[in-house]
Amino acid sequence: MKKLGFVIPWYHKDIRGGAELELKGIVEHLHKKGVELEILTTCVKEFASDWTENYFKEGLEEIDGIPVRRFKVRQGNMNLFHSINGKLLRGESITYNEEETFLREMVNSPALYEYIKDHSEEYHKFIYIPYMFATTYEGVKACPYKSILIPCLHDECYAYFQTFREVYSMASGMIYLSEPEKQLAEKLFKLSGVKQTVVGAGVDTDFEYDGNRFKEKYNIDYPYILYAGRKDESKNIYTLIKYFAEYKKRNQDKSNLKLVLIGGGDVTFPEEFKDDYVDLGFLDLSDKFDAYAGAELLCQPSFHESFSLVIMESWLCERPVIVHRGCEVTTDFAIRSNGGLYFKDYFEFEGCVNYILNNPKVAHNMGLNGRKFVLDNFKWDIITERLLEAFK
């Protein structure tokens, strides 16, 4: 098999983000298997950077033994991009021409696409992640017959672009992180001629966890629900904050229960219950896993997930989860694993929390069920073999 080219908008040694970390894990584990591969990316540093700034030097470098080939970005009109993105975020419809403008003015590298066209015979396949950036859209157009997408697809406004529907139907293959993601893609795109498979996502499983150690380190002497991840509206965080305040109001016998939040971002809490929220920000890996282990449960309220690393990590630490019914992916995981519950409104949220708090033995078994589900399906050696079979 010729080398594999993995295409992503940005990449560096300490990259953060769901799709970025998934790609990092994929290339590192394939590299250990002796697979010849390369990362093709832009000179932009990361998602939160200026998408018109060439932060890194163009050309070839190595990161942990993996070749990373960088290309300069075009100087897009970010004001125009943000004006169209703002319409989308407000729920307004946009025209086909505006879709094209959105993709042209975002992070974009014509030099990268020219390289893909000119050097396509050197590669077995080009693998693109995630679906919504111009590096994927234009990259697929550059060499469709060698294009495989790992789309990380959510049911969100961008997924309904006509431009995506037209171009992604030309790809050679689609690799999904979950069955509901595949079902969504088949609903949105014309994929009759595209090979498709559900592989899942790799999860690191070899770590220690100790809930008591976490409680001692952070002086926690109360039961807590854990939220882990980026704290912003796109993760539906304010629904959890609102529901937790209502829960405290209605359940006086749970007066010592708190909501502990870990991860980046800033949020505001209801003044009346502000002492019931504990925001610890970013934790190192050891403390993060200990935080899962010490929790009564993890709540993942997000609607928009193509996988969900945080619920997998909670299960690996033997704790149950509750998820929002509005997310087909996390609900499917909760049902198939028998490791969690799901809610669609406040009263179901209250019922889920009370069931887990009032039935500690059942909660423990749910956590063990979840751990087995992750170990049976998402260990890296399992995922790596599935990926190699898909690429071949």
360: CB partners within 8 A, 6+ apart: none
Residue 288 has pLDDT above 80, yes or no: yes
Q: Which two tokens stand for residue 222?
A: 């109360």
Tens-place pLDDT, residues 44-66: 999 989 999 999 999 999 999 99
At 234, the pLDDT band (50, 70, 90 cuts) reads confident
Amino acid at 17: G
When pLDDT is averaged across residues 102-115 and rounded to a whole number, the result is 97
Pairwise CA distance, residues 268 & 277, whole Å: 10
When pLDDT is averaged across residues 204-227 and rounded to a whole number, the result is 96
* Equal CATH topology for 3-198 and 211-377: yes
* HEC per residue, the chain: CCEEEEECCCCCCCCCCHHHHHHHHHHHHHHHCCCCEEEEEECCCCCCCCCCCCCCCCEEEEECCEEEEEECCCCCCHHHHHHHHHHHHCCCCCCHHHHHHHHHHCCCCHHHHHHHHHCHHHEEEEEECCCCCHHHHHHHHHCHHHEEECCCCCCCHHHHCHHHHHHHCCCCEEEECCHHHHHHHHHHCCCCCCEEEECCCCECCCCCCCHHHHHHHCCCCCCEEEEECCCCHHHCHHHHHHHHHHHHHHCHHHCCCEEEEECCCCCCCCHHHHHHEEEEECCCHHHHHHHHHHCCEEEECCCCCCCCHHHHHHHHCCCCEEEECCCHHHHHHHHHHCCEEEECCHHHHHHHHHHHHHCHHHHHHHHHHHHHHHHHHCEHHHHHHHHHHHHC
When pLDDT is averaged across residues 284-300 and rounded to a whole number, the result is 97
When pLDDT is averaged across residues 244-268 and rounded to a whole number, the result is 92
Residue 110 has pLDDT above 90, yes or no: yes
Pairwise CA distance, residues 300 & 310, whole Å: 8
How high is the pLDDT of residue 265? 85
User: Cβ distance 224 to 294 under 8 Å?
Assistant: yes
How high is the pLDDT of residue 336? 96
Pairwise CA distance, residues 282 & 225, whole Å: 17
Q: 181-196: buried (b, 16+ CB within 10 Å) or exposed (e) per residue?
A: bbebbeebbebeebee
Tens-place pLDDT, residues 138-152: 999 999 999 999 999
How high is the pLDDT of residue 274? 86
Tens-place pLDDT, residues 16-27: 777 898 999 999
The listed CATH number (3.20.20.20, 3.90.230.10, 1.20.1050.10, 3.40.50.2000) that belongs to domain 211-377: 3.40.50.2000
Give me the sign of the Cα torsion angle 308, 314, 315, 321. negative
How high is the pLDDT of residue 218? 96
User: Cβ distance 39 to 67 under 8 Å?
Assistant: yes
Pairwise CA distance, residues 10 & 148, whole Å: 18
Per-chain mean pLDDT for the chain: 95
Q: 343-363: buried (b, 16+ CB within 10 Å) or exposed (e) per residue?
A: beeeebbbebbebbbeeeeeb
Which of the residue ranges 45-49, 109-113, 213-217 would you say has the lowest mean pLDDT? 45-49
When pLDDT is averaged across residues 243-251 and rounded to a whole number, the result is 96
When pLDDT is averaged across residues 264-283 and rounded to a whole number, the result is 89
How high is the pLDDT of residue 92? 95
CATH top-level class for 3-198?
alpha beta
Tens-place pLDDT, residues 299-344: 999 998 989 999 999 999 999 999 999 999 999 999 999 999 999 9
Percentage of the residues of the chain whose pLDDT score is greater than 70: 100
How high is the pLDDT of residue 273? 84
Domain ranges of the chain: 3-198, 211-377
In DSSP terms, 15 is beta-bridged to none
How high is the pLDDT of residue 392? 86
